[in-house]
Amino acid sequence: MPPRRSTRKATTIATTDSTPVNPSDAHDASAVVDDAVDQATTATRKSTRARKKTTVAAPTQDSQDVSVADVKETSAKTGRKRARSEDEDEKPSKPASKKAKKASKAADDEDDAQPKDTSKMVTVLKRGAVPVDPASSFVNTHQVYVSPDGEIWDAMLNQTNIGKNANKFYVIQLLHPLGNASQCTLFVRWGRTGETGASQTKGPWAPTTAISEFKKQFRSKTSTAWEQRKGMVAKPGKYTWLERDYNDADEEEKEVVSSKNKGAEKPVSVKVPESTLHDEIQSLCRLIFNVGYINAALSAMNYDANKLPLGKLSKATILRGFAALKALADVIENTGSTNNTAAQYGGFDPACAELSNQYYSIIPHVFGRRKPIVINTMPQLKKELELVDALGDMEVAQKLINEKSSANWDGEPINPIDARFRSLDLESMQPVASNSREFAAIATYALNTHGATHSYYKVAVQNVFRIRRKYEDENWAKAGFNGLGEDQRLLLWHGSRSTNFAGNQGLRIAPPEAPVNGYMFGKGVYFADMMSKSYNYCYPDTSGNIGILLLCDVAAKPCHEMLDACYNADEECKKIGKLTSGNIGILLLCDVAAKPCHEMLNACYNADEECKKVGKLSTRGIGRTQPVDWQDAGEALDNDELKGCLMPKGPAKDLNPPGAYLQYNEYIVYNTAQIRVKYLLMVRMQH
């Protein structure tokens, strides 16, 4: 259940790997600044609309997108022909009524009308393989057509063009009445991302004809045949197909739809047994399996979960997102005239714009009416890496939340919280008594390692849990770490978003598709000996001001020490025979096989390679402020499992080593077998 990477690589409480995207010590804020001019303009438009007392027929999309009612319609007053949206067919299914024409005229006067309020939401049961588009009028009467060969006739398309301020979607579905698959209707909906948009229907036809029309529509929007959609590369000016996961095709999941569909079926109520878990463990489960917190985290990162919902996000889409960022990283990192990637697009600026278009088309973002942002700096790239990295963990959490089988091994119903806790697949978890010596020692460790540069907030340790993950001891032993000396294991912090802890994947390392220069000391799992260094990756503001920290037993020494960033530090560390590197986000206390360290003063994107070259267990990024005295964690915490593992004793001091670039130490390991999660903390932020 530890979390997974989060650009810093967080994990899920079942930990095996984490991928850091080590930003520097400063706390990365992901706040989006709204343009004051846009606000003023919006206010003026609202005022104008109030005076006109007009109604908009449908929310607008991109500047070139109009509703079906607008097609080839001539204004009675002006005689002018309206512009057609590129996303409409030449012939709408039905001629526009007088009422529609009147509403269309109002829409003409207000091209930037605000989208309809969709805040009132109800639930319906999904039928078949995939839900009917919730903005359609067919939710309660139809379902998506699935042909006898199992093909699901549903497509979500996306397109971003920053130069044209285009950020839009296109939905295509074949729908048939419930209980009657002999007639299918083609339903399409298009609009600007984050808005409802306009829609159109054609048909009905027999399934063979309907499939032909579906394929024709798909090719028209993508310039790609339906049969060749997997692995497709978007053509200029065309949409990208978003691959979705239909593995739960036989399950009836609740889908959120607009309040106009209130005639929906209601799920049968079942008596929910009381939870058998300790109150503190229940509290933890409510934190990491919280839909509201997942949505808040996605919103903070501008991800559009309506277009590509969690639970439907495929692994292939996540890997394509990493690959798009990898291409961007190559351009940003190598700004010289010899950069082949940039040269393909005509230079740095056009390359960043086009590659940003490709990335946003794969990983949909909501920008409202603002122009999408060109990704052309490393800080921007790291924020997007964090998003793509976190999507995999939140995808796992969403699927576990949607899981309907709340039953024990005998098939008897159990409390949903108990079922979700079981999905963490832990060997054991016990709350640590708040009045115990163990709890006090951990709280002191947190207090003493709260960095001076993070004084703008305070923290209070709320709950502490002892954790044992399955197979960690076995993997540790197989890797040969049972014979480490007493000073080679360190008890270090790891922090990540609370939404990254669901599931049993454990701490993970970034995939090959991810750009290496997005990780300060190469692709590995990052730890810190300063609590606040890791806590800054918890982002508690999106989870009720509660962050999750892990304390891990890490095989860290000998370290490959570095003073600055090194993006291939993993290779460097292995070359010189060192074990680790250092730094992370959700708070875990981990026993880490860390020494010998490959020590560095600055960032090194290939630190993993350097670490391997010198034969070290980890890379250590050397900070200016660091703990001075160390003690045996087993004795300090009254925990025999941690005998021989070291933890800081007393407050950190400003040592300011010559050449040090980092504010605090970072430890990075490149083999997840070097990590054993020992404690999980729920820590409240206090401003």
- Least-confidence region, from 61-75, 214-228, 295-309, 411-425: 61-75
Task: Quick: pLDDT tens for 119-160.
Answer: 333 333 356 668 899 899 999 999 999 999 999 999 999 999
Give the model's confidence band at 409: pLDDT under 50 very low, under 70 low, under 90 confident, else very high.
low
On the question of pLDDT at 86 being above 50, the answer is yes
Distance CA 201, CA 188 (A): 6
More reliable by pLDDT, 48 or 306: 306
* Active-site residue flag, 635: no
Q: How confident is the model at residue 575 (pLDDT cuts 50, 70, 90)?
A: low
Query: What three-state secondary structure class fits 518?
Result: helix
Global confidence as pTM: 0.66
pLDDT given at position 317: 85
pLDDT digits (tens, 9 = 90+) for 357-381: 999 998 988 888 889 999 999 889 9
Q: Is residue 73 predicted with pLDDT exceeding 50?
A: no
Cα within 13 Å of Cα(612), Cβ side: 11
Per-residue pLDDT, averaged over 187-214, amounts to: 94
Residue with tokens 């209707």: 185
Does residue 617 or residue 29 have the better pLDDT? 617
Using the predicted structure, report yes or no on whether residue 565 has a pLDDT greater than 90.
no
Whole-number Å distance between alpha carbons of 241 and 507: 31
- Residue of 213, 395, 571, 666 with catalytic role: 666
Domain ranges for the chain: 121-261, 279-395
> Is 279-395 assigned to CATH 1.10.510.10?
no
Q: Does the pLDDT of residue 232 top 80, yes or no?
A: yes
Task: Work out the mean pLDDT of the chain and round it to a whole number.
Answer: 76
Residue 440 CA neighbour count, 13 Å, CB half: 5
**The pLDDT of residue 586 is above 60:** no
d(CA 231, CA 171): 19
The mean pLDDT of 175-182, rounded to a whole number, is: 94
Provide mean pLDDT across the span 431-442. 97
Model confidence pLDDT, tens digit, residues 102-121: 433 333 333 333 344 333 33
User: Which pLDDT belongs to residue 473?
Assistant: 93
Q: Would the pLDDT of 93 be above 60?
A: no
Q: Cα 511–515–516 angle (5° rounding)? A: 90
Classified as helix, coil or strand, 641 is helix
More confident residue, 421 or 578: 421
pLDDT at 44: 40
Mean pLDDT, residues 325-347: 82
d(CA 507, CA 551): 12
Architecture of the domain spanning 121-261: Single Sheet (2.20)
Q: What is the pLDDT of residue 399?
A: 74
Q: Which two tokens stand for residue 574?
A: 């292995």
**DSSP structural state of residue 32:** -
Which of these, 603, 604, 600, 594, lies nearest to 670 by C-alpha position? 594
At residue 686, the pLDDT reads 87
The predicted pLDDT at position 352 comes to 94
Dump the DSSP string for 167-203: EEEEEEEEEEETT--S-EEEEEEEEETTS--EEEEEE
Q: Give the model's confidence band at 96: pLDDT under 50 very low, under 70 low, under 90 confident, else very high.
A: very low
CA gap 634, 138 in Å, rounded: 63
Nearest to 100 by CA among 71, 79, 62, 78: 71
pLDDT at residue 251, rounded to an integer: 42
